[in-house]
Structure 1
Amino acid sequence: MSVTEAYLQECLADGGGMRDVVSRTRFPPAFQECWGARMLARPMFVPEGELAAAVRDIETVFTLLGSLPFRLFDGDVDHYCSLLGIAPDKAAVLRRFAGTGPVRYGRADLYHDGRDFKLLEFNVASDLGGTDRAEMQRSLLDTEPFGEFARRHGLGYVHTGEEIVRALRGACRPTAGERTPRVALVCARGGLARFGHLLLAFRETLHRLGLPIALAELDDVTESAGALRVAGVPVDAVFRFFTVDDVCADTRAARHAEPILRAHEEGRAVLWTPMDSSLYSNKGALSLLSDPGHGAVFTDAERRAVDRLLPWTRLLADGPTRVGDRTVDMLDHCVERRTELIAKPLRDFGGTGILVGWELSPHAWESALRDAVKDHFIVQERVTPRTEKVVDPGTAAVEEWIAAWGVFITPGGYAGTDVRASPAGSGAVVNYGTNQLTRTTGVFTH
């Protein structure tokens, strides 16, 4: 019997209260405020070896993403940006930081198709969601009967917050030495109001782990005596929650961001992470990895890792392309494969702008694709995720849910996993912004 089967069996028997253990668990206050109404009724479980194999491929893909401007374009970042629809003003900001590749920090979003994990997109950025989610696993282990269940089945987890703290301390060592670094999480103007509930939960986690962190907006950051300051206090690191789009939105934003960018370049403070991460989180970068026309620049081992992890992914274009041993018109090919493809804008996030072929009529799909050709999209082969069984705490009904797995990596390696899930049949995109039924949970390995 698998761990999941044993857990579901105890939920259905419910002699010791496993079925409602999540709702009975005491979570940290800000975490509870943020996620209490949106927690799934159970955690997820995955064999440690299976996850470790996926992480090895994820780390390989991360390294490859960071090498693309250099392997494919001889370091011509402007050419790379033009291909991926990154406007010249944004490319100029990113080019300042494009050196040897991105800081190893990000979240790979995956489905499990019943056999393997498959990569949907790679969020190479510091403004990630899910970084506080391991508080769920930590708190569950202190709640019975789950704590005893975890001990019996040898469950474990990696706490994402602990790995982030370790990474920040390491990054700040050149300027802060061995003392606790002073860190400010900085949003664009209006970001604290928009993301405040998420940021308070993240700050709560880092405070508990011994790393106080201030919350601020770009306008709050000043510079004096060679130091960046927030509320008059010098900071060693800016945890970046603003994007290149924010910096380029207007002259005021650019003016307030410039001291932060310059302080990082001059080694006076750390920008976590540098601006170049947007070069690699652009979904078009995955299409460059997937395209066999670029295979000559990858080793056999690298190509095998990409093939295991990444479904067929291409830039949407109107013109010829190779599919297997045939040359076909890309747009016509995608129109014909409607039920097998999903189209995603290269730079949007949160599930916005996605075109789901199997949810559209043939006419609507073709019309949408012909419009999307002008707006920088990728098309990706459909991954059909396995369903996960969840026992409803109130009715004891066994329901089928779809899970999107978020695997975090930091410079130290694997940094934990979270899951967002939605009921099967409630929509193809599992996302908090586009599907109000989406719930969150943590992941244990065994």
Structure 2
Amino acid sequence: MHDPIKLYRQLLDADKDRWLADIPRVQQALIDAGCHYSGRPFVKVLRPKFLQRSEYAYLDYVSGVLMGLFRRLSDMVQDSEDLKRYLAISDGERRLIAPEPLCPDPLPFTRLDSFATVDGPRFVELNGEAPAGAGFNDAAMGVLGEHPLIKDFMERTGARSMKAMDGVLDGLLKAWRAAGRRSRPTILITDYDHLPTVPEFLTLRDHFIANGFDAVYEDPRALTFEGGRLWAKGKAIDLVYRRVLTNEFLEKGAEVKALFDAYEAQAVVMVNPFRSKTAHKKACFALLSGDHLGTDWMTREEQAVVERTIPWTRKVRDTKADLHGEEVDLLPFAAANAERFVLKPSDEYGGKGVTVGWECEASAWEALLQDAARTDTEEYVLQERIHTIEEPFPMLDRELEDQPMIVDLDPYIYFGKVHGVLARLASGSLCNVTSGGGQIPVLIMPD
């Protein structure tokens, strides 16, 4: 196939005045479909991300291998005080991961976040707790997929979309069956009602209902646990799609006790179980890249996939470290080579606390490293820089002129299989909707 980006641009330019005049309608349709984050539209371009079928198959393969490793790590942490200390598992987290969940897989729903490079995807984070965006993704595709320009392109090329919400529902039902359940469950989606992701929860709820399931969304503070059942909006709940993050759950304490009591009593099947928290910590990437455990716990295939897809990562400590076969003093080396590293909190999300070394003044970078090494309250990791590639996208707010954008390509993984991909765009170093980036749906292209 000819270059799909060039073909799309040719189709756009052939009737550009029409598409320019249509921008206000498209933007309003996206808002009406819930494609916004605290009122801020997150679809900022008039083009999906194009992904070759072979690229999608490769994502599925490497994601499956990596998730096998993360599952193994999660099980190892559960049985190891040493690894709990390494990952800085707090007392509150220990309490949450102690009960045996009904779903035997600690990581049924995940999203691996990657950047596109000339050598393929390089994964920088695992969203192991409550991967967001599937509902937003399908809502955006519902609007863009009806746009005449995009419909024409899809008909000419055979491109197809993939509904990420189907993966969510299928995954929930697989977790339900894995717990030995055979009846038709009533499903609860739960997270705090002040969050900007509430429109996505409502989209997911409506999708579940449209597929014949009784489903509700409710704030975890409004739940009750009575008579051995978890209750939400007057309904007895069987299956919980947990979107509330562990840290934010722990902050509320007694206000959210009903959900934990139901989980501890095995009165509900919950996805993800609280044990997903351990693999969510970015220090797990240091373990994958050889820190603390070495590599003997991995198969040769797993080591090869890690080598190709995981950047070198280490916890920030005043210690020596092996950097691609060279022993270095970690802090002085990182301070002198800021252009090679990113500094991240091990347990944050949405780009919070991330410092890009090559965009930081030398004195400030060194001070951040020293603070990160001696902090008693928060673990940090250093991750080696990834050399990203850019793609041109026609911007809605720039009269459809192309702007080079970094692409963050993030497969949704349900029980080890990819079903749908989130694509985020940014003109700077951080691709994150929370921190101001954009999100677009993905089209799968024939090879």
Same fold (TM over 0.5): yes
Q: Which string of whole-angstrom CA distances, capped at 9 and with x for unpartnered residues, describes residues 132-183 of structure 1? A: 312323443333232132022111232110111112233334676353x211
1:150 paired residue among 134, 154, 163: 154
Residue from 91, 95, 99 that aligns with 1:96: 99
Q: How does 1:136-285 map to 2 (within 5 A)?
A: 136-173=140-177, 177-179=182-184, 181-187=185-191, 191-195=192-196, 196-249=198-251, 251-253=253-255, 255-264=257-266, 268-285=267-284
- How far apart, in 1, do the equivalents of 2:7 and 2:161 lie? 18
Q: Structure 1 404/226 Cα, relative in aligned 2: closer, same or farther at 3 Å? A: same
Q: Partner letter of residue 174 of structure 2?
A: G
Asked if 1 retains the 8 angstrom alpha-carbon contact of 2:341 and 2:385, the reply is yes
Structure 2 residue runs without a partner (length 5+): none
SS in 1 for 2:188: strand
So what's the TM-score if we normalise by structure 1? 0.88
Aligned pair in 2 of structure 1 residues 88, 32: CA closer, same or farther (>3 Å)?
closer
Residue in 1 that maps onto 2:289: 290
Q: Report Cα offsets for 1:77-110 as digits up to 9, x if no partner.
A: 4322211122123123223348965232111111
Q: CA deviation at 1:343?
A: 0.7
| CA contact 1:69–1:77 (8 Å) conserved in 2 | no
Q: Deviations over 1:340-392 (max 9, x none)?
A: 10010000111111111011111111111000112311111111221110123
Deviation at 1:3, TM superposition (A): 1.1
Q: Quote the residue 1:429 is aligned against.
A: 430
TM-superposed CA distance for 1:275, in Å, is 0.3
Asked if 2 retains the 8 angstrom alpha-carbon contact of 1:246 and 1:253, the reply is no
User: Given residue 199 of structure 1, which amino acid in structure 2 is its aligned partner?
Assistant: F
1:408 match: 412
Tell me what 2:7 maps to: 6
2:109–2:171 CA contact under 8 A, matched in 1: no
Matched with 2:360 is: 360
User: Which deviates more from structure 2 when the two are superposed, residues 42-51 or residues 286-295?
Assistant: 286-295
Question: Do the aligned partners of 1:240 and 1:272 also contact (CA within 8 Å) in 2?
Answer: yes
Q: Is the 8 A contact 2:64 2:416 kept in 1?
A: no
Alpha-carbon distance change, 164 to 21 in structure 1, aligned in 2, over 3 angstroms: farther
How far is the alpha carbon of 1:305 from its aligned partner? 0.8
Q: 1:58 aligns with which of 63, 68, 93?
A: 63
1: CA distance, partners of 2:74 / 2:175 = 25
Shift of 1:19: 6.3
**In the aligned structure 2, how far is the partner of 1:286 from the partner of 1:306?**
10
Change (3 A) 1:198 1:339: same
State the TM-score, normalizing by the size of structure 2: 0.88
For 1:247 and 1:121, the matched residues in 2 are separated by: 21
Pick closer, same or farther for the CA change 1:94–1:407 going to 2, 3 Å.
Answer: same
Task: Report the aligned-residue RMSD.
Answer: 2.6
In structure 1, C-alpha distance between the alignment counterparts of 2:36 and 2:324, rounded to whole Å: 51
Deviations 1:6-34 (A, max 9, x none): 11222222269456777645559442465
Q: Which amino acid aligns with 1:170?
A: K
The one-letter code sitting in structure 1 at the alignment partner of 2:340 is E
1:398 maps to which residue?
402
Please state whether the residue corresponding to 1:89 is helix, strand or coil: helix
How far the C-alpha of 1:118 sits from its partner, in A, is 0.7
User: CA offsets, 1:251-270, max 9 Å, x none?
Assistant: 41463333221243xxx321
Identity rate, percent = 20
Change (3 A) 1:21 1:49: farther
Greater shift in the superposed pair: 290-299 or 245-254 = 245-254
2:394 and 2:253 mapped to 1: Cα distance?
A: 52
1:331 lines up with 2:352 in the alignment: no
Matching of residue 119 in structure 1 with residue 118 in structure 2 = no
Work out the CA distance in 2 between the residues paired with 1:297 and 1:317: 23
8 Å contact kept, 2:339–2:358: yes
Counterpart code for 2:55:
E
- Between the aligned partners of 1:69 and 1:184, the Cα distance in structure 2 is 25
* Cα separation, partners in 2 of 1:406 and 1:19, compared to 1, 3 Å: farther
User: How far apart are the structure 2 equivalents of 1:68 and 1:411?
Assistant: 15
Task: Say how many residue pairs are matched.
Answer: 432
Q: SS of 2:342's equivalent?
A: strand
Evaluate the alpha carbon distance shift between residue 421 and residue 15 of structure 1 in structure 2; reply closer, same or farther with a 3 A threshold: closer
- 1:55–1:299 CA distance, 2 compared to 1 (3 A): same
Q: Which residue of 2 aligns with 1:305?
A: 305
For residues 207 and 241 of structure 1, the distance between their equivalents in structure 2, rounded to whole angstroms, comes to 18
Q: Tell me the secondary structure at the aligned position of residue 294 of structure 1.
A: coil
Deviation of residue 5 (structure 1)?
1.5
Moved more, 273-282 or 122-131: 122-131
Distance 1:282 1:320 in 2: 22
